[in-house]
Structure 1
Amino acid sequence: MVLNCIILGNDPEGFRELEYFLSAIPYVYLVGRYNTMEDARLWLDAQTIDVLIIGSYEDALPLPPGTPGVMPVMMVMYTDHPNGSFDFLPAALLQSPLTQTALNEVISKIYNTIEMEGIVRPAKYTAEYFILKTAHRHEKVFYKELQYVEVMDDHITLHLGDQKLVTMEKLDWIISQLPANAFMRVHRWFVIGFRHITHLDADHVMIGDAKISLTVAMRNELAKRYQLPF
């Protein structure tokens, strides 16, 4: 089981140590860092997030007096409602200065709560595929076969080995159907599947014969993430 995590706050420089410690926990995947809840809403609505860590954030939950320098850690709970809804369950307060040991204990507690105590995890990705609407029919898109998603001028193409599927669906919707720990948006026009990376260079990534350009920052972020377990 992989715990998908989001860091919420408007001071990304202050999160470097937290990100480093999270990367050392093999069963945690950092989906992203977002300034506002609205920015993180895509992943929350898609029912993919297990853990929310709140840093410097204007609308953060009120903290008890005398607790400066703390980061609330929340478990994200989902309902079975067809339109999707979620709530936050307080799990812990991370104290400054943060240590790897303290973070490990908090994340281990959350993991055990979800795994052992009957907390219902989102069942979004229990299937091996999602259903995509194309021009003529609905297609099953198997996660293990999806190499990359490419945004074209007036449509989106999903590359699955020798097969290509064309759809008019929005990219945000397609991203919301993909497991966050197995796919990543690396460019304005590309989302790639980690398992299909054949080469990672300083300024591009290869997915089979497809060469996709990367910025330095995106290359470093991709290098950090794609070795995680699927």
Structure 2
Amino acid sequence: MMLNCLILGEIPNGFQNLERFINDTSFTFLAEHCQSFNDALPILETEAIHLLFAGNPPANQLAHHEEQHDLRILVLSYPDNNPYPFFVCHEEVLFPYLTYEAFYNTVHRLYNIIDMEGQETIPPRTADHFMLRCDNRYEKIIYDDLRYLEVVDNHIILHTKDSQITTTEKLDWIMAQLPLNAFMHVHRWYVVGFRYIDHLAEDHVYIGTARIPLSRNIGQELERRYKKRWQKS
């Protein structure tokens, strides 16, 4: 499982490496860095964020607050009957000048708190599709038909079983619509659907004739998830 992360507020002094730590860890993905809760709410409402890193309020709001030097990490869940967009099921405080080893140990421990396939924190989806804006129209994207996504310049191409669909929507938004146990962000420019992987190698996968590169250190996690749920017997 890839843990989707969101940073809220300004990163406090001593945590300048936080974004790099998230990007360098094979099982964490930085979905967005939002300055305000209002900016973050649409992403939180997609029920796709596992870890929320809560930093300082924006600089113009610090006048009436004493500057903070710690960083809170929240584990989010989405109960079926919760009246709010999310529920904080676990919270910890991180301290300044965090080493990568300490960061890794923390998020790895939280990874084990969360159900390995996301079923405890993310309710099962009832729909088999999502609607995607493409210029002045909307396309119905059926999850089971989506083979892989490719970022090309300022567009994203969705490769389905029967066609290619181009959109200018952000990749992070599209990722938030996808079932976490069926798709994985394997490279800066690619997201793959497990059911369509034909060959898996150390630094690339094949989906049909398309050779898709893998980011450094992500191959082992991809192989684990693929074999657990999608490898043909």
- Length-normalised TM-score, structure 2: 0.57
Q: Secondary structure at the match of 2:26?
A: coil
Q: What residue is the counterpart of 1:143 in the other structure?
A: 146
Gaps of 5+ in 2: 59-65, 194-212, 223-233
**Letter of the structure 2 residue corresponding to residue 177 of structure 1:** Q
**Letter of the structure 1 residue corresponding to residue 27 of structure 2:** Y
Over 3 Å counting, the alpha-carbon distance change for 1:132 and 1:227 in structure 2 is: farther
Mapping for residues 24-63 of structure 1, pairs under 5 Å: 24-57=24-57
Q: What residue is the counterpart of 2:122 in the other structure?
A: 122
Gaps of 5+ in 1: 59-65, 187-191, 197-222
- Length-normalised TM-score, structure 1: 0.57
Q: Distance in 2 between matches of 1:148 and 1:126?
A: 28
Q: Distance in 1 between matches of 2:83 and 2:169?
A: 19
Q: Distance in 2 between matches of 1:148 and 1:53?
A: 27
Mapping for residues 56-135 of structure 1, pairs under 5 Å: 56-57=56-57, 68-81=68-81, 85-115=85-115, 120-123=120-123, 130-132=129-131
Over 3 Å counting, the alpha-carbon distance change for 1:193 and 1:179 in structure 2 is: farther
Q: Secondary structure at the match of 2:7?
A: strand
**Letter of the structure 2 residue corresponding to residue 94 of structure 1:** L
Over 3 Å counting, the alpha-carbon distance change for 1:105 and 1:149 in structure 2 is: same
Q: Secondary structure at the match of 1:88?
A: strand
Q: CA RMSD in A?
A: 4.8
Q: What residue is the counterpart of 1:5 in the other structure?
A: 5
| Percent of residue pairs bearing the same amino acid type | 25
Over 3 Å counting, the alpha-carbon distance change for 1:38 and 1:133 in structure 2 is: closer
Note if contact 2:148-2:158 (Cα within 8 Å) is conserved in structure 1: no
Over 3 Å counting, the alpha-carbon distance change for 1:79 and 1:225 in structure 2 is: farther
* 1:3-28 C-alpha deviation (Å, 9 max, x unpaired): 11111113599754112222332211
